[in-house]
Structure 1
């Protein structure tokens, strides 16, 4: 636990954080809302409390690992003092969108609007993660040829392992459903949102397609995802908008149109209301991946 305090690599071209590994001994850096322009892996090793992520509150115990995306709002409220480890990396250092086929963590660790953004770290995982973090620490402090490739290799292994653990811990949400048709409705809802989020933005549209009342659908969404239908639809749109802003050089107007918004300024307001920054600022601070990058 005490082998490192803070170790950071900086992007020499932009001056921004590229990769950082650090320990924390209290909750001071997380006791207020964080909106960071890089990915954050926060491993709570000791302590317990509540995590506020987006608009949802989660209870957590020792050895809970959170995976958070750029500009995803989060904070921790401690009930027992917290200690742990934080791994941060910027999308310019390693973009999960570009490498999803290699690590398969997008939609498992990150950008999953239906499941909790955390996993439990058991003893076997603890030994594996500690070993990987030790290797990352050595990589940060050993400048030279292939430093980037070495760190990315360890990061990939970590993301793959954490994704596998989370997938085992959080299978499809089909348990404890009151209605007999519950599992079917949940899966059908997920499929419909995935199919129509670019063109259908109202909860009523999905209630109609599912042939149930908007009130019943709202109850299902709140009961099983702890979110409103508006939250679910909006979050899916935002994930796609962020992906387009990062991976392409499409104009905000074009992205807005492809996501079902004829008015670019209405879309920009929608994005800012959900992310707290404008699409342009998101692109400027997270960047878009150039073809040969």
Structure 2
């Protein structure tokens, strides 16, 4: 399918992957659980199948773009799919630091309320294909300011995909019954209180609904339990702090409502499949300050 199956830039300081464009014509690259220390954009251009991400399963058709954050577990079921993937390490381009420029944090990446995919329409297909070809040309024939050129192409790719995803996200308030308004209130409550409220029962109480009823509604709309939603939101914030700051793990734990640093570390590892310290050492841009 591709004239060159993959192109890779390596970080000369540590030998790790910095940026990669990978063409694929089957699922062998992704048919086992991935827990990478970089961002992945996986564009399925042909074929259908199923993907497991964060322990929820989703079906997909052709022209679907998946977005995965560092250490987010995902796996595609074996099958005949074709497409292209872009991998980039936070050292190469930091989503958190450039949020005002590309606005993809909470849209493409780290969106706990929506599936991790975007449907690519025909006009966007042409635009994204052009950007990928330009990335490949730049990587095959490097010249002055290669990093700046590649980051520019990546930004446009992310902005284009983010605009599509934002337009495809249904408004919870606009659904047909009274439940979505409750779920919008739940989302607002999690965003406001996740640092101090860690239990589903606390949210059920504040919403004046039984924990069992709220659990059933949450699962049916988000394909996740309320415990998973709360945990994911805490982990995203913890990763951001590990990622961008030089705060100690104890300080981060305390800010997130955990007085016991060791309990927090166990919670983090259970949900992120990696310890806070190792996450900082392999991903966090503030790791050199510790």
TM-score bucket of the superposed structures, by smaller chain: over 0.9
Quick check: 1:92–1:289 contact (8 Å CA) kept in 2?
no
Selected match of 2:233 from 214, 229, 236: 236
Q: How does 1:187-266 map to 2 (within 5 A)?
A: 187-266=184-263
Q: 1:158 & 1:289 partners in 2: Cα distance? A: 26
- After TM superposition, the score normalised by the length of structure 2 is 0.96
Q: 1:96 & 1:287 partners in 2: Cα distance? A: 12
Cα offset, 1:25, TM superposition: 1.5
Q: How does 1:49-198 map to 2 (within 5 A)?
A: 49-78=49-78, 80-174=79-173, 176=175, 180-198=177-195
Q: Which deviations, in whole Å up to 9, do the C-alpha atoms of 1:212-244 show, x marking residues without a partner?
A: 110111011101101100000000000000000
> 5+ residue gaps in structure 2?
none
Determine the structure 1 residue equivalent to 2:19: 19
Cα offset, 1:45, TM superposition: 1.2
Change (3 A) 1:92 1:280: same
Quick check: 1:173–1:224 contact (8 Å CA) kept in 2?
no
Q: 1:290 & 1:75 partners in 2: Cα distance? A: 29
Q: 1:289 & 1:270 partners in 2: Cα distance? A: 22
> 5+ residue gaps in structure 1?
none
Determine the structure 2 residue equivalent to 1:43: 43
Quick check: 1:246–1:283 contact (8 Å CA) kept in 2?
yes
Q: 2:68 & 2:268 partners in 1: Cα distance? A: 18
Cα offset, 1:285, TM superposition: 0.6
Q: Secondary structure at the match of 1:58?
A: strand
Q: Which deviations, in whole Å up to 9, do the C-alpha atoms of 1:2-29 show, x marking residues without a partner?
A: 2431100111111110000010111112
Q: 2:91 & 2:215 partners in 1: Cα distance? A: 38
Q: 1:6 & 1:145 partners in 2: Cα distance? A: 22
Determine the structure 1 residue equivalent to 2:272: 275
Q: 1:206 & 1:35 partners in 2: Cα distance? A: 31
Quick check: 2:269–2:275 contact (8 Å CA) kept in 1?
yes
CA RMSD of aligned residues (A): 1.6
Selected match of 1:284 from 278, 281, 285: 281
Q: 2:11 & 2:65 partners in 1: Cα distance? A: 26
Q: 2:288 & 2:153 partners in 1: Cα distance? A: 24
Q: Which deviations, in whole Å up to 9, do the C-alpha atoms of 1:36-93 show, x marking residues without a partner?
A: 0000000111111111000110001111110000000000114x51111010000000
Q: Secondary structure at the match of 1:81?
A: coil
Cα offset, 1:176, TM superposition: 4.9
Change (3 A) 1:114 1:39: same
Quick check: 2:45–2:84 contact (8 Å CA) kept in 1?
yes
Cα offset, 1:142, TM superposition: 2.5
Change (3 A) 1:291 1:33: closer
